[in-house]
Amino acid sequence: MLHHLGAYLSDSKKILDAWDNYSDEHTDFDGWPHDDHAYGLRQSQRDADTAAAFETLGADARHLLATAGVQLPRLPPGSVQSHWSYRLGVLHTALDQLDALHEQWLRTRDALAADATPGTPVFDDALAEHHAECWSYLDDWATHGHVIGDINSAARQAPSPLAPPPRTAPAPAAGRTVEVRR
């Protein structure tokens, strides 16, 4: 599951970097697009690509959040970053919103005419609108998702409450030899 998270974080960064490059090249100094239609199409592509990248993580997201939520309070206070709880809250809220938007999309899709299938303007426009509504929440995952890995790393490095603390054995005296008899 952490692999899926890592893949999403990497893919979403590439998608956002490509978008930033496009936006920089296709807007004026005030940030206004040179061609509103082309800019809107490219923005829709960014939204769709980000949603597609999240699909492999989406099924694991709740489990990852739940695991991090269990790990965090068990960590030694010195290994916890103060922003981790906040970031987990942002991820929970974003996932709740994505779930609600998915349910809304299913209702919208089911309400479309029977001939509104992928590739038709009616379907594609509705899907593009759905992706646009999801994008900021997907961006929250891209921005804050690394906290799950950070918490997991801290949990792996933390001493286990089940294992006794290590005891140090005295070092052997220098110059002593031990004779083994058979």
| pLDDT tens readout for residues 156-176 | 887 765 555 556 655 555 555
Give the three-state DSSP class for 27.
Answer: strand
Give residue 118's domain range: 2-157
Q: Is the dihedral of CA 80, 86, 87, 93 positive or negative?
A: positive
Locus of tokens 């899926």: 4
172 inside domain? no
Share of the chain above pLDDT 90, in %: 70
173 inside domain? no
120 inside domain? yes
Q: What's the number of domains the chain is made of?
A: 1
CA 55/CA 46 separation, integer angstroms: 15
The residue type at 126: A
CA 148/CA 67 separation, integer angstroms: 9
176 inside domain? no
34 with 27: CB under 8 angstroms? yes
Convert the pLDDT of each residue in 76-118 to its tens digit: 888 889 999 999 999 999 999 999 999 999 999 999 999 999 9
Say if pTM beats, i.e. exceeds, 0.85: no
The residue type at 171: A
C-alpha distances in Å from residue 88, one per residue of 120, 174, 182:
38, 53, 63
Give the three-state DSSP class for 134.
Answer: helix
170 inside domain? no
